[in-house]
């Protein structure tokens, strides 16, 4: 008969831990932000399946950037189509990995799941008005252990503004 009180205690404890864990991730006390602007860059598509957009197609890209402090660097990455909302529509769900290289050993790696429109060898349009939210999954050099997010917004000229939000 002592099982019920023990189960109740475990359930209450787990609930309290969940609330603490949620609070820990919901509040960012020390947030460091900076913005970079990339040029339009270059992209190239790899059609891995039937002609046209299909699951597994890859879009590889690179661009140069300048940070607010004048630091110049490069961005390299890829998008892989993982699902088509409608085979007749070029809108695809995709998974992406992007590396921002700030020179020397300093880099930040981000990843995301998103939707966008492929057209041949380029990404024509992003869903949600051109803005993307990407998770920072690591870094090297002065960014070792980096965590946070990057908010990217495509500009009218094809360039991107990327706001890095690093959590200390």
CATH number of the domain within which 52 lies: 2.40.480.10
Q: Structurally, how many domains does the chain consist of? A: 1
Closest listed residue to residue 111, CA positions, set 120, 92, 129, 98:
98
For residue 26, pLDDT over 70 is answered with: no
Contacts of 125 (CB under 8 A, 6+ apart): 116, 117
Domain membership flag for residue 2: no
DSSP 49: S
The neighbour count for residue 87, using CB atoms within 10 Å, is 11
The sign of the CA dihedral 131, 133, 137, 140 is positive
Average of per-residue pLDDT across 4-27: 42
Tell me the three state secondary structure of residue 30: coil
pLDDT digits (tens, 9 = 90+) for 77-136: 998 988 887 767 767 888 999 999 999 999 999 999 887 776 655 555 554 456 789 999
- What is the rounded distance in angstroms from the CA atom of residue 49 to the CA atom of residue 112? 23
Please tell me the predicted confidence (pLDDT) of residue 128: 43
Range of the structural domain that residue 98 is part of: 30-167
Instruction: Find tokens 């299909």 and name the residue.
Output: 54
Domain membership flag for residue 9: no
């Amino acid at each position: 008969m002592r099982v019920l009180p023990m189960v109740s205690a475990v359930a209450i404890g787990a609930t309290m831990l969940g609330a603490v864990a949620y609070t820990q991730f919901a509040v960012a006390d020390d947030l460091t932000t900076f913005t970079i602007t990339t040029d339009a860059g270059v992209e190239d598509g790899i059609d891995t399946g039937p002609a046209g957009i299909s699951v597994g197609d890859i879009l590889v890209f690179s661009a140069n950037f300048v940070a607010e402090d004048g630091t110049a660097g490069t961005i390299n990455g890829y998008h892989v189509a993982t699902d088509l909302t409608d085979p007749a529509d070029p809108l695809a769900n995709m998974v992406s990995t992007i590396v921002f290289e700030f020179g020397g050993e300093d880099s930040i790696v981000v990843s995301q799941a998103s939707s966008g429109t492929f057209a041949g060898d380029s990404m024509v349009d992003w869903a949600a008005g051109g803005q993307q939210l990407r998770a920072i999954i690591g870094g090297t050099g002065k960014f070792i252990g980096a965590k946070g997010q990057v908010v990217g917004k495509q500009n009218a000229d094809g360039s991107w503004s990327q706001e890095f939000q690093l959590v200390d």
